[in-house]
Structure 1
Amino acid sequence: VFQGCGQPKPAPALRSARSAPENFNTRFRPYNPEERPTTAAGTSLDRLVTDIKEKLKLSKKVWSALPYTICKDESMTAGAANEEECWNGHSKARYLPEIMNDGLTNQINNPEVDVDITRPDTFIRQQIMALRVMTNKLKNAYNGNDVNFQDTSDESSGSGSGSGCMDDVCPTEFEFVTTEAPAVDPDRREVDSSAAQPSRSLLSGSLVCVALALQRLCR
């Protein structure tokens, strides 16, 4: 083998691993778990959350404070001295019924509102539960935990038989129009069949004549 191929060359020496230089500067900063992320616009996420909380505080009691806000507006209501000129819901006079306090339980004796507090409002409770679930998801996402946000539009598309029909009413893909055959007299059927026989014999005779003419032309 050595005579035919020659002496093998020695393997080159391996390069020694070099250590990173001391002045090596990367474009990535060291990770700090206490540092909050920033948005695409460069705004701190903590600042956005604080701004949203302040705006929510302003609208927290908007419905309960709405009557007082309207009553304090001089351009919309009359003063205390002109209460006789106000509309009390029935006539132009002073409002005589007792003013109820805020809250659902205080509306039992309110003649202006028909509220049944003995039965819970299922719609409002569903909205409260949905807000609580979303609040917990946002808290977990803010703290860095994995949260599964499911789109409502995907829920409707995944349910059903998959046929794409709404309300279980599907149009037929092909509509066949069928008509009943008219009643034919047996005697007429025999006449039609007998009349068709001469036409067939005439057609066969004409074909034979054409074949003979072509044969003569070929000769």
Structure 2
Amino acid sequence: PLSNLDAKLRVEMRTEIKLMHQRLKTTTVYVTHDQIEAMTLGDKVAVMKDGIIQQFGTPKQIYNDPANLFVASFIGSPPMNFIPLRLQRRDGQLLALLDSGQARCELPLGAMEAGFEDREVILGIRPEQILLATDESRNQSSIRAEVEVIEPTGPDTLVFVELNQTKVCCRMAPDDAPQVGQTLELQFDPSKVLLFDAKSGERLLPGKPLASGGKVAQFKAG
């Protein structure tokens, strides 16, 4: 319903639609390709691909706990970072190896079922979940990287670095924004990291054995 409106009017009408929905308390089905509309207007969101529901849940569930690579890449602006890598196992713990060209780090991911090591995976982490390391927080989950591009947006500044030969976006407060060419020490929180199978796009979960193919809740239109 908002596709032909200009950007300012779209935002205003989005608020009006939400107020109307709260006032009428009527179940409404809202179909959109705009993820911001889906996240802001929906109490529950169904993400579809090729006529199949990939995931159904609250906006918070869809954003923080995506079922597969498609859902993770579709929801979020700027989108989630996806870093290709291979996992290694040491002392029963899985490690994700990150390389910035200046430094390397072994990000500990905890214990997982056998079979994950040496498997090609995609590490997913959202821009706001990559933080600047401090003297107190610096540890094996920190890595130095050179700033390649900055994009001020007003309330945030998007900072781009390269990890594993992939551009990675970090969302920072304007006052913390660095200059191009500056070296930053970035901090990863292992509890925020998501892993996806590089071939199937299937989400890999701790404590669950690997499946041979991607499995999601599927509801096909009749």
TM class, shorter-length? under 0.3
Q: Which has the higher contact order (CA 8 A, sep 6+)?
A: 2
Query: Which structure would you say has the larger Rg?
Result: 1
Output the TM-score relative to the length of structure 2: 0.16
More strand per residue: 1 or 2? 2
Q: Give the TM-score taking structure 1 as reference length.
A: 0.16
